[in-house]
Amino acid sequence: MFTDTHCHIYKEYYENIDEILKNAKENKINRMINNGCDKKSNSEVLELIGKYENMYGALGIHPENVEEYIQEDIKLIEKQLNHKKVIAIGEIGLDYHYTKENKEKQKKLLEEQLSLAEKYHLPVIIHSREATEDTINILKNYKTKGVIHSFSGSLETAKIYIKMGYLLGINGVITFKNSKLKDVIREIPLENIVLETDSPYLTPEPFRGKRNEPARILEIAKFISELKEISIEELARITNDNIKRIFDI
Ligand code: NI
């Protein structure tokens, strides 16, 4: 049985969430971590983890929402962290893809949420796009651990994150024809990775272009088990041990 360590199961993407979870179970995915991005999705995550036994939650403000969030939203997250099934702070991070103009604001938002993680001893789920250097420099200042979500950097960058105690979140990108990620993962011990879908985005081959869902972890798992020449069962065991170490589930 596998765990999807990063998805966005919100009503705006899925009209029938019961079915998405049923489909996941039929494909050997028995747990998932639903990640919030802003005040609205955080409250939806809370609602859904109350309803579905096998769904856990991560709450956070995503860097793409840096212009919309207000200070009250962070205070609200802090209050909501006492929920038993909220197991991480995420999705948080830095994203310079669309604009670098609000860099300082993004950094401040990330730092604030890392402080929360430190205060409440919670792991973090980090989004970093075109911002590797700043991400590393900021994470160095905190005693946090967690996952570098959707990792797609170089072997050198992978080694830096691993040395800092982070796991690499690997998703459908590794199955894409032009992706160099497989060359990196070939060199990395499996003790350093977790599997994720980032649903509804980043659908693995051969379903690329369709809406993603947690059931597709199995496609990513098959790809990695072939790449690393181990059985699917062994991959499940190792990645679940990694999850247990970081998230305590
Ligand atoms: Ni995400």
pLDDT, tens only, 204-220: 999 999 999 999 999 99
d(C-alpha 198, C-alpha 195), whole Å: 10
pLDDT of residue 39: 98
Q: Write down the residue that tokens 């360590």 correspond to.
A: 5
pLDDT of residue 244: 98
pLDDT of residue 55: 98
Q: Are 19 and 45 in contact (CB under 8 A)?
A: no
Which distant-in-sequence residues (6+ apart) come within 8 Å of 103 by Cβ?
94, 96, 134
The alpha carbon of 26 and the centre of ligand 1 are apart by a number of angstroms equal to: 23
pLDDT of residue 4: 98
Tens of pLDDT, residue by residue over 150-171, are 999 999 999 999 999 999 999 9
The alpha carbon of 57 and the centre of ligand 1 are apart by a number of angstroms equal to: 13
Tens of pLDDT, residue by residue over 46-69, are 999 999 999 999 999 999 999 999
Q: What is the mean pLDDT of residues 173-199?
A: 97
d(C-alpha 128, C-alpha 88), whole Å: 17
The alpha carbon of 34 and the centre of ligand 1 are apart by a number of angstroms equal to: 9
The alpha carbon of 98 and the centre of ligand 1 are apart by a number of angstroms equal to: 16
pLDDT of residue 193: 98
The alpha carbon of 127 and the centre of ligand 1 are apart by a number of angstroms equal to: 7
The alpha carbon of 94 and the centre of ligand 1 are apart by a number of angstroms equal to: 12
The alpha carbon of 225 and the centre of ligand 1 are apart by a number of angstroms equal to: 23
Rounded to an integer, what is the distance from CA 107 to the centroid of its chain? Answer: 19
The alpha carbon of 64 and the centre of ligand 1 are apart by a number of angstroms equal to: 11
The alpha carbon of 163 and the centre of ligand 1 are apart by a number of angstroms equal to: 23
What's the structural domain count of the chain?
1
d(C-alpha 235, C-alpha 162), whole Å: 19
CATH code (residue 211) = 3.20.20.140
Q: What is the mean pLDDT of residues 133-141?
A: 98
Ion ligand 1 contact residues with beta carbon within 5 A: 91, 198
Coil, helix or strand at residue 5: strand
**Count of C-beta atoms within a 10 Å radius of residue 41:** 23
The alpha carbon of 204 and the centre of ligand 1 are apart by a number of angstroms equal to: 15
With cut-offs at 50, 70 and 90, classify the pLDDT of residue 243: very high
Percent of the residues in the chain that have a pLDDT greater than 90, as a whole number: 100
**Residue among 156, 157, 195 at smallest CA distance from 174:** 195
The alpha carbon of 33 and the centre of ligand 1 are apart by a number of angstroms equal to: 11
Q: Is the peptide bond before 91 cis (omega within 30 degrees of 0)?
A: yes
With cut-offs at 50, 70 and 90, classify the pLDDT of residue 90: very high
The alpha carbon of 29 and the centre of ligand 1 are apart by a number of angstroms equal to: 18
Across the chain, which distance is largest between two alpha carbons, in Å?
Answer: 49
pLDDT of residue 106: 98
pLDDT of residue 239: 98
- Residue 47's domain comprises 2-246
The alpha carbon of 37 and the centre of ligand 1 are apart by a number of angstroms equal to: 8
The alpha carbon of 200 and the centre of ligand 1 are apart by a number of angstroms equal to: 9
The alpha carbon of 36 and the centre of ligand 1 are apart by a number of angstroms equal to: 8
The alpha carbon of 205 and the centre of ligand 1 are apart by a number of angstroms equal to: 18
Tens of pLDDT, residue by residue over 71-85, are 999 999 999 999 999
The alpha carbon of 114 and the centre of ligand 1 are apart by a number of angstroms equal to: 17
d(C-alpha 166, C-alpha 154), whole Å: 15
Reported as type and span, the H/E element at residue 86 is: strand 86-95
R_g (Cα) of the chain, nearest Å? 17
The mean pLDDT value of the chain amounts to: 97
